[in-house]
Amino acid sequence: MIKQDFPKVLWAFVAALAALAFAASPFLSDGFNGFSPDQFPVPQDNPPVQPAGYAFSIWGLIYLWLIIGTGFGLVRRATDEDWAPARPWLAASLVIGTAWIPAANLSVPVATVMIWLMLGTAVMALYKLGDEDRWLQLSPVAIYAGWLTAASCVSVGLMLAGYGILNGTLAALVSLALALTIALFIQFSLHRAPEYGLAVIWALVGIIVSNSQPLNIAVSGLCVIGILAILAVRGTDTE
């Protein structure tokens, strides 16, 4: 029995350690205040795809909630079958995330690939999470995956505009359409985890704010449509 439980305990420990390392990464690096304009061939000053600065404060909530959730899982649910399947995927996402800030300060393309890997593994964890201890198991991963959905698509938009493939507004519209497609599919197929959709909505509101002066009707309008669509899909959830 002890031998059978060892892998579960090990992954519970790895997930909790990865959450701590992930939360510490901004303090153990130069920090990250967004890509600088000169990291792109076409400098990106106030790109329409990027949320207003206040929106990034959600990271404080994400870090704290992941630490609490994985810590509780290690101390109280280390061998629980309901928690075990998601831990390798979550740990993988957080380990990649620990190295993301240094990578982002060096290379936008590398950081873009990494954040998509973070998203993919976080979403896998989200689908494998159980229903026990919902606010400690499911909620922190849902809000983390929701914000990553927005952030990964913002990176795509910055790449499209920053490398001269599309202008700023078109790049924002393409990346927002991608984010909404992913978000709506995940929220509908999960039929739970409203925090996922709320995190995406938080990002969309931040983009609306950043496009309010001067008003970018196209980008703001698509964000409003996206918010309404996510809320409508949320109404189909079975929670």
Phi-psi region of 193 (alpha: psi -120 to 50; beta: other; left: phi over 0): left
What pLDDT, on the 0 to 100 scale, is given for residue 237?
65
DSSP assignment of 53-79: GGGGGHHHHHHHHHHHHHHHHHHH-TT
Tokens of 198: 């709320």
pTM (2 d.p.): 0.95
| Residues of the chain where predicted confidence (pLDDT) is lower than 70 | 1-3, 235-239
pLDDT of res. 221: 98
What does the pLDDT read at residue 5? Answer: 86
Tell me what pLDDT residue 239 has.
Answer: 65
User: H helices then E strands: how many in the chain?
Assistant: 9, 0
